[in-house]
A and B are shown apart, each in its own frame.
Chain A
Amino acid sequence: MNPTAATFQHRHAAHCESGVASNLFSHYGAPISEAMAFGLSSALSFAYLPFVKLTGFPLIAYRMPPKFILKGLRKPLDTRLHFETFRSEEQGQRRLDALLEQGHVVGLQTSVFWLPYFPKDMRFHFNAHNLLVYGRDGDDYLVSDPVAEEPQRCAVADMQRARFAKGVLAPKGLLYYPEKPGRQVVSAADVRKAIVKTTRIVLGPVPVVGVRGMRMLAKKISRLQNDEYGLNYIGHIVRMQEEIGTGGAGFRFLYASFLQEAAALCALPELDVMAERLNAIGDDWRSFALQAVRMIKGRDAVDFAALSASLQELAVKEGDFFRALRKAVQ
């Protein structure tokens, strides 16, 4: 067996990319937590993309696009990442095997539909799932999938399918591995910079992103008809929020954890207070999901205006929060 398999540490994570980044860089000598990876790369956001359709519904993400976390960590950790995509599937597999042979732990972008260890009901055609491979044992890859509690195994043929799935965000066999990070500890200045960047994105001028994106989605909800499509639409919002790697309330809690780390690192006790506030906002996102699901289940009367108002209220709260956060670090 491969020498890296013995030293690699798998850790469970809330989100695939921040989990992969944390496990990968920790293995290569810069131990950072998942929350730090998420916060330091300014990954928290909100985006409502009506022009990207997933089975007929818009893409609603609560974070920045795929690869944003990995790329965002290069500078603060003073390292480089090698990203490789492949035209031919065989080449992609040969390269992965060669890298494993050399002792690398390798990150992959995959489609969850083709990963057999995923629960059947969770296997949708979603192409931007990140995981790590830390070895090969016969016809199985040894997989560290951060959203799974334990390391997994995956047959080589299945992994090939998952890596070369087509469609929106097709991975094209993408694999990546870092060079040894030049810095092992995160600096306070970088943390501050990352926080400011997040506030700039969330409060920014792009109409579909951040607070403005929430308002736009709220308006869309208020225009929905009370029919099958309307109910499926709000179900889809909640699913993007709670179930798929796009985040939601969970990312607010994750970012709160980052703010606590940042408070200690930058000696800014105010950030502890902000973490507490964001924790409450995360709870509000959960109430929003519950409100929607009660309507879907028929326990409450369907009232899109009320749901829209809840989201408007969340937009106001997040707006206030991020303005206060900007003040706290400046």
Chain B
Amino acid sequence: MDISDVPQEGNSTLGHHRKALYAKDASGRMVLVPSRGSEVDETVTLQAIQRLNAQADEARRRCVAGQTAPLEVWMWTQRMDLPLLSQVTGIWQWRIRRHFRPRVFARLKPALLERYAQALGLRAEQLQQIP
């Protein structure tokens, strides 16, 4: 890659950051060039975010309909999925799935709620509301 080929078209997901790339300068040396990113990077990052957002929206819809607990919506908005939430909390997946049931969730012990809240970086009260 030549310096002139380093993408600078901008990548909204980088914010105001620039990332470093190595490219060939006029004398043929590979040097570090800050890049504003490209549409290629942006597309795939947004795709990953949209996938998680779509799952959050779907869960929110079911939550409003009373089919799942806010816990599941929070899981997706904090960019986790079931295997990850299970690893982070140390609670088995089938148990978490059970806690997603609104009636079970309503009776969760404070200690368990606290564990979920910790893992998701929230306060325990927040878990009761739909994000």
CA A239 – CA B43 in complex, angstroms? 9
Smallest Cβ distance from B23 to chain A, in angstroms? Answer: 7
Residues of A within 8 A of B90 (CB): 166
CA A113 – CA B48 in complex, angstroms? 14
CA A260 – CA B25 in complex, angstroms? 13
Tell me if A138 is interfacial: C-beta within 8 Å of chain B. no
CA A53 – CA B83 in complex, angstroms? 9
CA A318 – CA B32 in complex, angstroms? 23
Select the residue from B14, B32, B39, B88 with max chain A CB neighbours within 10 A.
B32
Q: Which residue of B lies closest to A250 (CB)?
A: B21
Q: Which residue of B lies closest to A14 (CB)?
A: B20
Chain B 1-15, CB within 8 Å of chain A: the 1/0 string? 100010000001111
Task: List 5 tightest A-B contacts by C-beta distance, closest first.
Answer: A119-B15, A257-B30, A121-B13, A253-B22, A239-B44
Residue in B16, B41, B81, B87 whose CB lies within 8 Å of A166 = B87
CA A56 – CA B51 in complex, angstroms? 11
Q: Are B19 and A296 touching (Cβ within 8 A)?
A: no
Tell me if B46 is interfacial: C-beta within 8 Å of chain A. yes
Residues of A within 8 A of B20 (CB): 12-14, 147, 149
Interface size on B, residues (CB 8 A): 43
Chain A contact residues: over half helix, strand or loop, or mixed? helix
Residues of A within 8 A of B80 (CB): 125
Smallest Cβ distance from A44 to chain B, in angstroms? Answer: 13
Known: A235-B44, A253-B1. Is A119-B81 also a contact (CB below 8 A)? Answer: no
Known: A232-B51, A293-B43. Is A279-B87 also a contact (CB below 8 A)? Answer: no
Tell me if B47 is interfacial: C-beta within 8 Å of chain A. yes
Q: Are B12 and A121 touching (Cβ within 8 A)?
A: yes
Please report which residues of chain A, range 257-290, place their CB below 8 angstroms from some CB of chain B when the two chains form the complex.
257, 260, 275-276, 279, 282-283, 286, 289-290
CA A260 – CA B34 in complex, angstroms? 20
Residue in B24, B44, B52, B81 whose CB lies within 8 Å of A279 = B24
Tell me if A94 is interfacial: C-beta within 8 Å of chain B. no
Total contacts A to B, CB within 8 angstroms? 122
Residue in B31, B40, B52 whose CB lies within 8 Å of A242 = B40
Smallest Cβ distance from A22 to chain B, in angstroms? Answer: 11
Q: Are A149 and B18 touching (Cβ within 8 A)?
A: yes
Q: Are A275 and B30 touching (Cβ within 8 A)?
A: yes
Residues of A within 8 A of B40 (CB): 238, 242, 286, 289-290, 293
Q: Are B48 and A286 touching (Cβ within 8 A)?
A: no
Q: Are A279 and B1 touching (Cβ within 8 A)?
A: yes
Residues of B within 8 A of A161 (CB): 121
Chain B 37-75, CB within 8 Å of chain A: the 1/0 string? 001110111111101100000000000000000000000
Residues of A within 8 A of B18 (CB): 149
Q: Are A250 and B22 touching (Cβ within 8 A)?
A: yes
CA A290 – CA B49 in complex, angstroms? 19
Residues of B within 8 A of A235 (CB): 43-44, 47-48
Q: Which residue of A lies closest to B18 (CB)?
A: A149
Q: Are A296 and B14 touching (Cβ within 8 A)?
A: no
CA A161 – CA B1 in complex, angstroms? 38
Tell me if A82 is interfacial: C-beta within 8 Å of chain B. no
Select the residue from A53, A119, A276 with max chain B CB neighbours within 10 A.
A119
Tell me if B79 is interfacial: C-beta within 8 Å of chain A. yes
Tell me if A236 is interfacial: C-beta within 8 Å of chain B. yes
